[in-house]
Amino acid sequence: MTETTQSLFETRPPSTLAESAFVSLYGWVYEHSPWVAHQLYERGITKNLDNSAALADAMAAIVNGAVDDDKLSLLRAHPDLAGKLALADLTESSQSEQKGAGLDQCTPDELARFTELNDLYKQKFGFPFIFAVKGYHRTDILEAFERRVKNDPETEFNEAINQVHRIAKLRLEAL
């Protein structure tokens, strides 16, 4: 097996990395929130974290154990979906994920609805709508958006955190 066909977990297992390398490789998994990787490293990276599923679970535990203000900052670090795609400062991962769901190809009506829902959602909840878009089409995402904007704040906060975990897990699996 050549290095190009091996996963990052095989070529550079997390348990073998110095903190700077670990944070460099995994600090982006949670959008603009390298503190998750820093805290996990401080707790200790053992060989049992040398696979994507275990690392995803350990990173999720860091987030779940954080205070609500840190969780809210994490949620606020995410970009809007579709509505301001052309103007947003997207990470490479977010841009790829949104394009994969066809969010860069919205019709004018879809774009207007995404923009309207983005504004309504942020006004109601104080953070952008977060949806792990991989495997979904923009119409599925719009339907979920329509449903979730009706949630109460606590339900939606928890759903947004769950979506963030799904995004992180998908990003780790892609490595």
- Residues acting as catalytic residues: 78
| SS (HEC) of the chain | CCHHHCCHHHHCCHHHCCHHHHHHHHCCCCCCCCHHHHHHHHHCCCHHHCCHHHHHHHHHHHHHCCCHHHHHHHHHCCCCCCCCCCCCCCCHHHHHHHHHCCHHHCCHHHHHHHHHHHHHHHHHHCCCCCCCCCCCCHHHHHHHHHHHCCCCHHHHHHHHHHHHHHHHHHHHHHC
